[in-house]
Amino acid sequence: IQKLETHFGHPMTAVELGRQFYDGRRANPVFWQEMEKIFEEYDKTHENKEWMFDRHPYAILPDDIYAKRKKAFLTSKERILLENMVEAALQPPERKYAEDFMIAAMLLPETSMLKKMSNLERRHILYAIDSGDFETAAKAITRMDNICDFLQKDHFYISYLVWMTIGNIRLEALNKILEAGIPPEKWLEEQLQILTEMEAKVRQMEKQVLYGEAVSLFNTLHWLAHYAGYAGNDMKKTSLYFHSLRFFFPQGWWQAASNGKGLAQIFHVSEFAQLPDKATGYPCIVMACAGYHQTNRRILGFTASCRILRGLIEAELLKRSTGDYPETMNNLLIDPFSGQLLKYRKEPCQIIVHVYQKVRKDEEMPSAEGMDDIHTEDSYEFVAEKCTVEAVQIWSVGPDGIDDDGMLQESEYGSGENAKDDINFIIRLDKPSTVSN
């Protein structure tokens, strides 16, 4: 443990984790209770299939459905209240950080609420773009930044994943603002700096979260040895201590104790990619760490997206100074997946567009996912269409390291074709029809 404390620079205790999380801030449980209540009211007054539209946020909708959804969203009192709650720095929730409490079992409802909040902000941005309202779109970006600032103070793995998810939503929304041509140059230059900082933060948070996960696992082993047998985390009800079982099942006790040593060895790393991805003699720890090494792909993907968008902003600034987008760009950043420069083109390229189409109820649906309302005569489905557009595009070859010519496309079931996983952003030169939902 002392070696890990030296490695991370902090005591390996739950109390220290709490001290760093609060960092002088005072918990405000009422704030989060109020947000939860407002979301409940919002869900009552809006369609119960928002998850489906969130999966395809840039789909082309029929005019009547688009207009109906836009009006309901912009006139929602709950939406306004929620946005007001994230106008400034978010206050922390009330949490218990103690050695007699298994922090791995801590519920984090704020993470799901903040992800929902970011989906609302993205939707607001798309409606603002549709109206040419840059100020409203920029304010929504700032609110998402407030959400990310809150999450980056946390040490939990789930908070880290949600931070990256919301960060990617922000990047996509920024791309749409850029594509609309409405932001001033000064704002774009500020975004270049913010993107550079976001790329740095994803790695800074990585070691912070590794520390938090190590503390959480040590805390779990300590809790099992000294407090397990109580009802959940309730210290008022006593029962048989787990550590008493060492007399009846010494192999199990030895395994738990040895996993403590294994934990100290395994977490003496600075990146998730350095964690084990197979059995190492410490089964409890390996099970707990399952999937951690895959996180590196997400980190590299986030890094690639930040660099791609920085390149597109540079191309836009060049276009504003010269009158046209460059034919080539020689100052692109490195693709973290290939180690080579990111790829650029100014020419027709293929993209996937989702279209929300109306079908008859008695017509066979391709999947239950696409159904709008099975209790009405009509139902809808999202259909993916490949089309060629005039655009400026920058892309990464993605996790598989194969250049798919900038395409990101899932493979069809039974087709025998591999999925295409290139990461890309574009600026369409032929302006698209309504694509916000």
For the segment 60-72, the average pLDDT, to the nearest whole number, is: 94
Cα Rg of the chain, angstroms: 25
C-beta atoms surrounding 378 within 10 Å: 10
Cα separations (Å) of 370 from 56, 57, 122, 410? 11, 14, 21, 16
Q: Is the dihedral of CA 103, 109, 114, 116 positive or negative?
A: positive
pLDDT at position 48 is: 65
342's tokens: 């990111």
Q: Choose the weakest-confidence range: 56-70, 83-97, 407-421.
A: 407-421
pLDDT in tens, 352-361: 999 999 875 5
| Domain locations in the chain as residue ranges | 2-210+296-428
373-379: long-range contacts (C-beta < 8 A, 24 or more apart)? 373/49
Confidence at 284, pLDDT banded by 50, 70, 90: low
pLDDT at position 416 is: 55
Identify whether the C-beta of residue 49 lies closer than 8 Å to the C-beta of residue 109. no
pLDDT at position 415 is: 52
pLDDT at position 285 is: 66
The residues, any chain, with a CB within 8 Å of residue 39's CB and separated by 6 or more, are 78, 82, 113, 116
Identify whether the C-beta of residue 241 lies closer than 8 Å to the C-beta of residue 235. no
Identify whether the C-beta of residue 148 lies closer than 8 Å to the C-beta of residue 170. yes
pTM: 0.88
61 CA to centre of own chain: 25
pLDDT at position 420 is: 82
Euclidean distance between CA atoms 354 and 172, whole angstroms? 16
For the segment 133-152, the average pLDDT, to the nearest whole number, is: 98
Closest by alpha carbon to 120, among 167, 68, 164, 74? 74
Q: Mean pLDDT in the chain?
A: 86
For the segment 343-366, the average pLDDT, to the nearest whole number, is: 80
Checking if the pLDDT of 240 tops 70, the result is no
Cα separations (Å) of 341 from 147, 296, 335, 394, 427? 32, 20, 5, 10, 19
Strand, helix or coil for residue 312: helix
Q: Is the dihedral of CA 76, 78, 81, 86 positive or negative?
A: negative
More confident residue, 135 or 218: 135
Residue with tokens 């199990």: 252
For the segment 184-198, the average pLDDT, to the nearest whole number, is: 98
Euclidean distance between CA atoms 212 and 220, whole angstroms? 12
219's tokens: 């805390």
pLDDT at position 372 is: 43
For the segment 159-167, the average pLDDT, to the nearest whole number, is: 98
For the segment 83-100, the average pLDDT, to the nearest whole number, is: 95
For the segment 144-158, the average pLDDT, to the nearest whole number, is: 97
In percent, the amount of the chain with pLDDT more than 70 equals 81
pLDDT at position 45 is: 84
pLDDT at position 252 is: 47
pLDDT in tens, 247-277: 444 444 445 555 667 778 888 999 998 887 6
7's tokens: 């490695």
More confident residue, 389 or 373: 389
